[in-house]
Structure 1
Amino acid sequence: MHLKQYFQFKERNTNYTTEIIAGITTFLTMAYIIILNPSVLSKTGMDFDGVFFATIIASVVGCLFMGIFANYPIAIAPSLATNAYFAFVVVISMGIPWQEALGAVFISALIFLLLSLTSFRQAVINSIPSSMKEGISAGIGLFISFVGLQNAHIIVASPSTLVTLGNLTDPITYMSLLGIFISVVLIINNVRGALFLGMIIISIISFFFGYISLPDTIFNTPEFGNTFMQMDVIGAISHNLFTIIFTFFIVTLFDTTGTMLGIAKQAGLMKNNTFPNVQSAFLADSIASLVGAIFGTSPTSPYVESSSGVASGGRTGFSNIIVALLFILMLFAAPIAKVLAEVPAVTAPALIIVGFYMMSSLSRIDWNDMQEAFPAFLIFLLMPLSYSITDAVGIGIITYCLIKIFCGKFKQVHPLLYAFMLLFIIQFVAIQI
């Protein structure tokens, strides 16, 4: 079968040139993850080269599977939402070894894979009220931005008020502020790959000011590092990391579903308000997460940046193959990526701006309905303040269920949500004992 026929070029009114341009556009808008993901995860003690390699391999597998078998122009790579949770909450805050955290990622991905073959996945999605889904998304965005502000030294610890404004004369701070400004201006002017280009520009400026030293070699042969096959599944189970596994699963589920539906609608690929070939699309993400855990990275997710490729005319999985090929080329750029990742002014602006994008979810909450809005508000507020996505989601679910019960509307709550509430109550009680 000819490639044009396989990818349905005629049915989707596209051609090779359009798909190639779309693939390049998508890659440029999400290329920041190549630097940002190893930068975040290496703070846990994970080997930078290993995470760099895992990031690219997981992205390549996800993009190829999504492109070839699902035929969608939806790129996949490690998620910033879950890598921040993995690094700053699970490993750094909770003190769980990164090997066990990878084990939790592997189990979560395996569950996601199995549920993608059944209708239970849809039941879980339906059990969570839309207001809480939006609250979770916005809360993760605020959490990611908060981490970025800390890394940039814009927000620092304070013994009297917990946090305060940092020293604006600190080179890290003012260079990060400059990086934010550059990226925001590029985005406002609709420059393709604005985030990635912003990182490159601030890197060049930092180099001329002496804040970056070039490595001995810009390119080298890919290295596995020490993260390959290091996931500790037995450790994750024996240390009762079930709430962490649950959090990885829930965040990935919502992130994946929302992004896929949004991009499919944008591309005009929905049929009778349904998502054709959705099973293959979900399998692509779950397989990428499994591969990522094996090689050494946090869960993957479809990237909303794929919308830039769709806006450029991408309508088929062929554009995803282009994205995968470009990721493969980046395998040889680990030395320069490692240098850039160690400069907060390069990575912090991207974290802050990605968080900003996720905050748009707040506009879809009905703030006039307190029964729906208040639990979502708690989730959104508590994620950065408690430094825990799990605790925030748990408190939000418990609050939502209790409000519905005491308002006589308990029948409006999906039975699965009550099950989640009981699990979180047990977890919170166990922590206190």
Structure 2
Amino acid sequence: MGVAKDIFTGAAMALTAVGALVVTATMLSWAGANFAAAYTAGAIMSLLGTLLLSRQGLSLVVMPSVAVTAYLVFIIAISNGLGWQQILGISAAGSVLGTGFWLWASRHRQNFFPPALCWGICLAVAVYLIVQGLNLGRIIVTSPWSVTMVGGFYDPLAYWSLVGIILTLALAACRCRLALFYGMAFTLAATLLEGFWVIPAAPFFLPEGLDTSVGQLTGAAGTDKELWLFGLTSLCLPVCLGTINASSIMAFAPAAGRQQQCQGAGTLSALGLIGALLGTTPLAVAPTSAASHGAAGRYVTGGAAAVLLLALFMEPLAAAWADFPAMTVPVLVGSGFLLILRLSREIPLAADENTRRAELMSITVMTLLLPLAHNFATALGAAAWGYIIFMVFAGRARDISRCMVAGGALFAFYFAYSMFI
């Protein structure tokens, strides 16, 4: 019975994470990429990343990062006029730098960020996932006179998204191990029966589209502005993504040591280069890994790998889901809440009162800025600088690590240039 439960847990984690493949492929298509190509590349890298992390003793599901993809598409591409090929180029450059950093970090004991800020990054990601899900389901919408407002539930997408969220959170409150899976499955079945999406005549198809994306990444820039933006984003990306992955491994695999965290984050950085060559954005630990509740082992990985392999051949079905993504909303929102529940078990704040105040203020800044600005570099950079300033004024300047100072200098340069973008 334990083996079957582990297999089903892994399969459920991967199945609910398939929604991330649809979301990231859809966002890349908005930047001009081919949806089928982005989906196929993402499925291949998810399967490869999940298997490689398993060999390192980490039973986690890997997916292209929804949060980082949104940052690259909306802030870097759409807002500043860069193409999807340049997004892939930034991903490749950032992956190379990130891999080098984690090779260095694995040989040194010094942490880049204090443990409390790593915890805060996970919290900010959790809140960001919740907000992204509510936006995707049109439960909250932009408003001309306020930051946001509640959408109308006469909208079928908003209505079924809300129903799925309520069911998912109710199951999670009852400690249901497969709350995300049941919430997604119910919403999927209900919207299918209501006719809001249909199963394609050929729901399964051989992977396609890679011929339009393989090797298409570029570092070319038409203007000096694009060149600077390309370079600065490539420098900031590994800091943001590496911290997210290391924090996620710490949250979802608490038994993993620091060496495993560095190896896992380094592996994902190295795979990001292969993913960029294929046509997808950097990889991250899927928040749905929170559904494991500590389950680990080859059977969990085997169940997840089987689903990810199947997902590689179901692009037409995934495209149909993207037309009415109500089933993805409970996954994003539920993942965020599960991550918050996991983080609430232990908050690694410093014992010193002044340091603790600096950490709490920095975490607050990051948690508020990320969902409001949809910009990882801005949120993480503001938190880093806030921490440095708070520590200096609290008389704890000597406790700031050199890595933190170097990161603050990098983000200061990023902010200074961003004023002219």
Aligned to 1:351: 332
Q: How far 1:310 sits from its partner (Å)?
A: 7.2
Per the alignment, residue 99 of structure 1 pairs with 85
Q: For the residues of structure 1 that align with 2:183 and 2:3, how far apart are their CA atoms? A: 25
Paired letter, 2:357: M
2:136 corresponds in structure 1 to 151
Distance 1:293 1:205 in 2: 36
* Contact 2:287-2:339 within 8 A present in 1 as well: no
Contact 1:102 1:231 in 2 (8 A): yes
| 2:47 pairs with 1:66 | no
Structure 2 counterpart of 1:177, which letter? Answer: L
CA gap of 1:325–1:301, structure 2 versus 1, over 3 A, is same
Residue matched to 1:42 = 26
User: Where do residues 12-411 of structure 1 align in structure 2 (5 Å cutoff)?
Assistant: 22-43=6-27, 44=30, 45-68=32-55, 70-119=56-105, 126-225=111-210, 226-235=212-221, 238-266=227-255, 274=257, 281-303=264-286, 305-306=288-289, 311-312=294-295, 314-315=296-297, 317=298, 319-360=300-341, 361=343, 364=347, 366=349, 369-411=356-398
CA apart distance, 1:198: 2.2
**Pairwise CA distance, 1:404:** 2.0
- Aligned partner of 1:14 in structure 2 is none
SS at match of 1:205: helix
Letter of the aligned partner of 1:249 in structure 2? Answer: P
Go from structure 1 to structure 2 and tell me whether the alpha carbon gap of 1:239 and 1:247 turns closer, same or farther (over 3 Å shift). Answer: closer
SS in 2 for 1:49: helix
Which stretches in structure 2 are left out of the alignment for 5+ residues? none
C-alpha contact 1:37 1:78 (8 A) present in aligned 2: yes
Aligned 8 A contact 2:236 2:411 in 1: no
Does the aligned pair in 1 maintain the 2:161–2:326 contact within 8 Å?
A: yes
Q: Deviations over 1:290-344 (max 9, x none)?
A: 22222222221234645655745x33x5653553243212222111111012213
Larger CA deviation: 108-117 vs 86-95 = 86-95
Secondary structure of the residue aligned to 1:59 is helix
1:15-53 deviations in Å (ceiling 9; x for gaps) = xx9667534422312322323333244233332211221
User: CA–CA distance in 1 between the matches of 2:3 and 2:240?
Assistant: 30
> Aligned letter for 1:240?
L
Deviations 1:276-297 (A, max 9, x none): 6666544532333222222222
The 1:395–1:56 alpha-carbon spacing in structure 2 relative to 1, beyond 3 Å, is: same
* 1:40-91 Cα shifts (integer Å, max 9, x gaps): 44233332211221121101211232334x2443333323332333334333
Q: Please tell me whether the aligned partners of residues 397 and 417 of structure 1 are also in contact (alpha carbons under 8 angstroms).
A: yes
* Cα shift readout 1:104-129 (whole Å, capped 9, x = no counterpart): 11122222223333336756x71312
Three-state SS of the structure 2 residue aligned to 1:65 is helix
SS of 1:301's partner is strand
* Alpha-carbon spacing, 1:21–1:288, altered in 2? closer, same or farther (3 Å): farther
Aligned partners of 1:71 and 1:318 also within 8 Å? no
Q: d(CA) in 2 for partners of 1:194 and 1:300? A: 24
Distance in structure 1 (CA, Å) of the matches to 2:5 and 2:142: 45
2 CA distance for matches of 1:328 and 1:357? 26
RMSD: 3.0
TM-score (norm 2): 0.85
CA separation in 1, counterparts of 2:220 and 2:125? Answer: 28
Give CA deviations for 1:148-198 in whole Å, capped at 9, x if unaligned: 212212112222223211112221211111111222233334445432332
Distance 2:407 2:202 in 1: 51
* Other structure's SS at 1:252 match: helix
Mean Cα deviation higher: 299-308 or 414-423: 299-308
TM-score scaled by structure 1?
0.83
Amino acid of the residue matched to residue 414 of structure 2?
A: Q
CA spacing shift, 1:205–1:307, aligned 2, 3 Å: closer
- Which string of whole-angstrom CA distances, capped at 9 and with x for unpartnered residues, describes residues 355-402 of structure 1? 223445477264963222112211111112223221111111112112
CA distance in 2: counterparts of 1:193 and 1:235, whole angstroms: 46
- The CA deviation string for residues 216-266 of structure 1, in whole angstroms up to 9 with x for no partner, is 211111113433322223449834334423443123322332333455544
Q: What is the aligned-residue identity percentage?
A: 23
Aligned in 2, Cα 1:95/1:19: closer, same or farther, shift over 3 Å? farther
C-alpha distance in structure 1 between counterparts of 2:253 and 2:127, whole Å: 26
- Mark the CA change 1:384 to 1:304 in structure 2 (over 3 Å): closer, same or farther: closer
Aligned length: 407
Aligned 8 A contact 1:28 1:192 in 2: no
Aligned-partner Cα distance in 1 for 2:299–2:324: 35
SS of corresponding position for 1:326: helix
Gaps of 5+ in 1: 1-16
Q: 1:129 to 1:116 in 2, by over 3 A?
A: closer
